[in-house]
Amino acid sequence: MSPVLELFSVVTFPAIDPVAFSLGPLAVHWYGLAYVAGILLGWMIARNLVRKPELWPGGQAPMTIQHLDDFILWVSIGIVAGGRIGYILFYDFAAILDNPLRIFEIWNGGMSFHGGFIGATLAMVYFCRKHEIRLWSMFDLVACVAPLGIFFGRIANFINGELWGRPTDVPWAMAFPTGGPFPRHPSQLYEAVLEGLVLFLLLQLIVRAFGGLKRPGLVTGTFVAGYALSRIFVEFFREPDVQIGYLLGGWLTMGMVLSLPMLAVGVWILTWARSSRPAQTNRAD
């Protein structure tokens, strides 16, 4: 770290190599491992939930373990493709036009949660229609474990030293190597905690202690609204992407704008789920 960074930094940024390990010419990045870890751990917990029929409407899980195993490929494609396309459209379209090869550089970051959310949703709709699985129950199952992927993704953002926060004088501020000589909020860690760990524990409590899966849509609505609220809150501490900046008044960011429709949809789903009768069948909606 340069003397200028040491002068202003309160907490030393842990300079971790973005490359976790190499296999010959192949460099394996922490960013890629984060996606793998989130998907695999989420799959393991989802399998556990499917094996507990007492958690589901009518005492019967809406799908088999084989269905869930087959679904992993579809949702992985939806997350990665949607996340990358979303980032291109929402955040980096002009730069991609100048250098189209940037489309494939996902190891350097450049994944949008909102795009990945849309991609995963489309994958779920297709898979459920094809296999006649109740759609809202699939949404709920994925929502139960999705915060784990968010957690690992934000940790990877921190390791990469990207998506840092705004300048601050809080005791835990850090001077990121790519963020200039100013101590900043480690906003990636804020997101990892709020959007990841806190939301995951809340959803597990709703599912395992209060029978949330028995009312389709309740878990999904909680996840969507909970993520949106967490993201909007953290956006007040996170530096907006330099190519976009603030959209209004030095405070409104693209992350806030994209999260507001999610919040509205999440509240609508919660209202619908609470007012509807618990489902008794396993057919697709």
Confidence of residue 1 (pLDDT cuts 50, 70, 90): very low
Give the pair of three-digit tokens for residue 16: 């971790």
- The span from the CA of 250 to the CA of 188, in Å, is 20
Is the pLDDT at 257 greater than 80? The verdict is yes
Annotated binding-site residues read 154
For 47-71, what is the mean pLDDT? 95
Is the pLDDT at 17 greater than 50? The verdict is yes
Give the pair of three-digit tokens for residue 208: 């395992």
- The C-alpha angle with vertex 109 and arms to 103 and 111, in degrees rounded to 5, equals 70
Question: Is residue 186 within 8 Å of residue 158, measured between CB atoms?
Answer: yes
3-state secondary structure of 233: helix
- The span from the CA of 49 to the CA of 42, in Å, is 11
For 50-75, what is the mean pLDDT? 94
- The span from the CA of 92 to the CA of 243, in Å, is 7
Q: What is the pLDDT of residues 127-136, one digit of tens each?
A: 999 999 999 9
Q: Pick the closest to residue 143 from 84, 36, 217 (CA basis).
A: 217
Q: Who's near 278: CB < 8 A, 6+ residues apart?
A: 57, 214, 215, 216
For 13-38, what is the mean pLDDT? 86
Tokens 């969507």 belong to 224
For 158-172, what is the mean pLDDT? 93
Q: Which of the two residues, 263 and 23, has the higher pLDDT score?
A: 263
Tokens 């394996």 belong to 28
Confidence of residue 106 (pLDDT cuts 50, 70, 90): low
Q: What is the pLDDT of residues 205-241, one digit of tens each?
A: 999 999 999 999 999 999 999 999 999 999 999 999 8
For 114-133, what is the mean pLDDT? 92
Q: Which of the two residues, 26 and 239, has the higher pLDDT score?
A: 239
Question: Is residue 255 within 8 Å of residue 231, measured between CB atoms?
Answer: yes
pLDDT reported for residue 281: 47
Confidence of residue 107 (pLDDT cuts 50, 70, 90): low
- Bridge partners for 174 per DSSP: 11, 184
Lowest mean pLDDT: which of 18-22, 251-255, 269-273? 18-22
Lowest mean pLDDT: which of 110-124, 156-170, 172-186, 227-241? 110-124
DSSP assignment of 135-174: HHHHHHHHHHHHHHHHHHHHHHHHHHT-S-B-B---TT-B
pLDDT reported for residue 215: 94
Q: How is the chain split into domains, by residue range?
A: 3-10+27-275
- Residue ranges of alpha helices (H) inside 51-112 are 65-90, 93-98
